[in-house]
Amino acid sequence: MKPAAFDYVAPRTVDEALNALGDTRRDVRVLAGGQSLILEMHLQRIRPDLVVDINRVAGLDRLSVNDGTVEIGALVRHGVFESPQAVPGPLGRLFALAAVNIAHPPIRARGTMVGSLAWAHPASEWCAIALALDAVIEVRSTGGAREIAARDYFRGPFQTARARDELITSLRFPLPAEDTGVGFIEHRRTHFCFAQVAVAAALTVHDGLISDVRIGLVNCADRPIRAHAAEQVLIGREVIVPAVGDRLPGGHPFARAGRIAADQDAAPLAEPYADPEYRRQVIAVLVGRTLRQAAEGVLQ
């Protein structure tokens, strides 16, 4: 379990990094947090020719808010988002709910949100959140810069619209309305494994009716999924949350949305201990519960 040999550079500027990435004849990998990359190198499933360590590139660790947008640099670590104050408003609360599900503190001290998007594991919490909340991925190469909408970004397991010579420099999230309620629930077998299913939800209510809803599904297909069909049945509906302790009645809009997310939006694959039938059950239940969590946030 040792990495195969590779060349290594640690550029100081983005341009130097882009130059290194430009050598597309070789297998070049960007090292940010490295918590997936180095693991894969131990297993020799990845044997890069060149590793470009961006940890010394100035400015990539910036986390800034302007004009209703949060910009998250390529070196902002998972652990930063454990505090709901790291990002203002509902988005900060959603990030905090999700962040604690990512491995454990020593991994969160190194791994980065942008790195999760670059790696695009189907069980990534951040990928589904980015998709559901219409994040924009900023990439640069020696040829210039471009933006990729999250909805156009994910192509399959570990496959994205990023070209091999492109570096994701940052990720931008639009800030949801202040009165948006958020929820995030993850289902896994123990503390130490990837999610069998997780759900992120953001719910905005105007005059007692749902005006905007976003549901992101984690590990419910070969890539992150936004549950559009489930969202459709909720728009314009009244929000009535059952009393604490009560299970959602089958006819409740959140329960129905859960069923639709499971049956229409998701395309779950078989894994040991989670066949598609079981996965759909979990999706249906978790979507309902996560919407409820989000709605409780609205009503508070």
Give residues in contact with another protein (CB under 8 A): 1-8, 10, 31, 34-35, 38-39, 41-44, 51, 53, 55, 103-107, 109-110, 187, 189-194, 196, 245-247, 272-275, 278, 281-282, 285-286
Backbone angles phi, psi at 239, to 5 degrees: -100, 110
Token pair for residue 221?
């297909």
Q: How far is the CB of 213 from another protein (least distance, A)?
A: 22
Judge whether 235 and 213 are in contact, CB under 8 Å. yes
Shortest CB 64 distance to another protein, Å = 23
Nearer to another protein, 22 or 276 (CB): 276
Q: Is 113:128 a contact under the CB 8 Å cutoff?
A: no
- Residue type (1 letter), 287: V
Q: Which amino acid is at 246?
A: D
Rounded-to-10 torsion of CA 290, 291, 297, 298: 170
Look-up of token digits 């808010």: 65
Nearer to another protein, 158 or 278 (CB): 278
Asked if 233 and 257 count as a contact pair (C-beta separation under 8 A), the reply is yes
- The CB-of-261 to another protein minimum distance in angstroms stands at 15
- Residue closer to another protein (CB basis): 209 or 240: 240
Q: Report in angstroms how near the CB of residue 179 gets to another protein at its nearest.
A: 29
CB of 88 vs another protein, minimal distance in Å: 24
Query: In the complex, what is the shortest distance from the CB of residue 177 to another protein, in angstroms, rounded to a whole number?
Result: 31
Residue 109: CB minimum distance to another protein, A: 5
CA 218, CA 198: separation in Å to the nearest integer? 5
Looking at residue 126, its amino acid is W
Nearer to another protein, 77 or 214 (CB): 77
CA–CA gap between residue 71 and residue 87 (Å, rounded): 10
Pick 35 or 160: Cβ nearer another protein: 35
- Considering the complex, state which of residue 4 and residue 163 has its C-beta at the smaller distance from another protein: 4
Q: Which is nearer to another protein, 1 or 66 (CB)?
A: 1
Cα–Cα distance between 41 and 38 in angstroms, integer?
A: 5
DSSP collapsed to 3 states, 73-132: ECCCEHHHHHCCCCCCHHHHHHHHHHHCCCCCHHHHCCCEHHHHHHHCCCCCHHHHHHHH
Nearer to another protein, 119 or 194 (CB): 194
How many other CB atoms are there within 10 angstroms of residue 116's CB atom? 23
Instruction: Write down the least CB distance from residue 279 to another protein, Å.
Output: 9
Which of these, 294, 286, 237, lies nearest to 262 by C-alpha position? 286
